[in-house]
């Protein structure tokens, strides 16, 4: 059975379970790509090019509306035109890139209609996942997630937005995996690029990353207590925060938004 859970994420590490538990690390990006622009050309092909470009778009290294210089990216990644083209086509399907034949390829504007649709998908999937976890007969995964919260808090206190973003994504991925639906995270992620960009704009706001950790802690506390209704409500409140800054975004960065 689940024991008493720490209410302070920073204390979670002191309650770590067996050594077999695998804490989520700051470099746990899907392709485990290097942070720099370059890389081993043998690695930066296909899936890796897609992940690298998605990361650059979501983190606003490539801002909405920016023209994508294919030749420059080929040189920076050390790849041929084929993997870059394939990556851009995938990003276009994700709604993150606009490809106009015989013209420029641009980073798409943040589409608020797509944001709202992605939010509906995330709520349906992730609220059900935490409901299942809270209703599980055994919840021996709780110490692992406590360690994850401690790592998130560490990155938040350090002001490491990139490391925090990676841990945040991996935390949500792990919840779905524990709920028995690991493949659904990739479905959600494919539709969440617009939300991810809004969230990245929000993270540098003082205290926001720490607040996200507190929200994760409330979700986990409800799961550990075996309260499906409360876990679901906590996740709903957490996901609603992604839409909170939309009006501010429209006012401060109108050039980034397509309503």
The pLDDT score that the predictor gives to residue 139 is 95
Q: What pLDDT score was predicted for residue 79?
A: 92
Domain endpoint, select from 90, 108, 126? 108
User: Is-above-0.85 flag for pTM?
Assistant: no
Burial of 106 per CB tally in 10 Å (0-12, 13-18, 19+): middle
- The per-residue pLDDT for 177 is 97
Q: For helices 193-202 and 161-178, what crossing angle results, to 10°?
A: 140
Q: Give the CATH number, domain containing residue 123.
A: 1.20.120.530
- Residue 254's pLDDT is what? 86
* Res 184: pLDDT: 96
Reported as type and span, the H/E element at residue 15 is none
The count of domains in the chain is 2
Spatial CA neighbour of 50 closest among 84, 100, 82: 84
Residues in the chain: 259
- Residue 68 and residue 159 in one domain: no
Task: Give me the domain span that covers residue 122.
Answer: 111-258
pLDDT at 14: 36
- pLDDT score, position 141: 97
Residue 247 and residue 139 share a domain = yes
Alpha-carbon span 6 to 45, nearest angstrom = 43
What CATH number is attached to the domain comprising 96?
1.10.10.10
Per-residue model confidence (pLDDT) at position 43: 52
**DSSP secondary structure string, 89-130?**
HHHHHTTSEEE-TTS-EEEPPEEHHHHHHHHHHHHHHHHHHH
Residues 120 and 89 in one domain: no
Walking along the chain (259 residues) 10 residues at a time, the average pLDDT comes out as: 38 34 32 40 72 93 94 91 93 95 91 91 97 96 97 94 91 97 95 88 79 96 98 95 74 83
pLDDT for the residue 38: 44
């Amino acid at each position: 059975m689940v024991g008493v859970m720490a209410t302070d994420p920073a204390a979670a590490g002191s309650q770590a379970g067996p050594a077999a538990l695998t804490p989520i690390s700051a470099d746990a990006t899907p392709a485990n790509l290097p942070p720099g622009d370059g890389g081993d050309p043998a690695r930066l092909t296909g899936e890796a090019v897609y992940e690298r470009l998605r990361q650059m778009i979501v983190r606003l290294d490539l801002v909405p509306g920016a023209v994508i210089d294919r030749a420059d990216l080929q040189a920076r990644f050390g790849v041929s035109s084929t993997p870059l083209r394939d990556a851009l086509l995938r990003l276009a399907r994700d709604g993150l890139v606009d490809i106009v034949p015989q013209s420029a390829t641009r980073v798409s504007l943040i589409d608020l209609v797509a944001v709202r649709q992605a939010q509906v998908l995330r709520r349906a999937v992730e609220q059900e996942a935490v409901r299942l976890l809270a209703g599980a007969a055994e919840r021996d995964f709780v110490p692992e997630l406590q360690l994850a919260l401690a790592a998130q808090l560490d990155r938040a206190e350090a002001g490491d937005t990139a490391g925090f973003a990676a841990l945040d994504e991996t935390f949500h991925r792990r919840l779905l995996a524990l709920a028995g639906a690991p493949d659904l995270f990739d479905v959600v992620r494919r539709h969440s690029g617009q939300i991810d960009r809004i969230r990245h704009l929000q993270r540098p706001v003082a205290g926001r990353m720490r607040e996200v950790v507190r929200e994760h802690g409330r979700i986990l506390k409800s799961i550990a207590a075996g309260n499906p209704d409360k876990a679901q409500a906590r996740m709903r409140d957490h996901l609603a925060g992604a839409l909170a800054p939309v009006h501010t975004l429209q006012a401060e960065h109108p050039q980034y938004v397509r309503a």
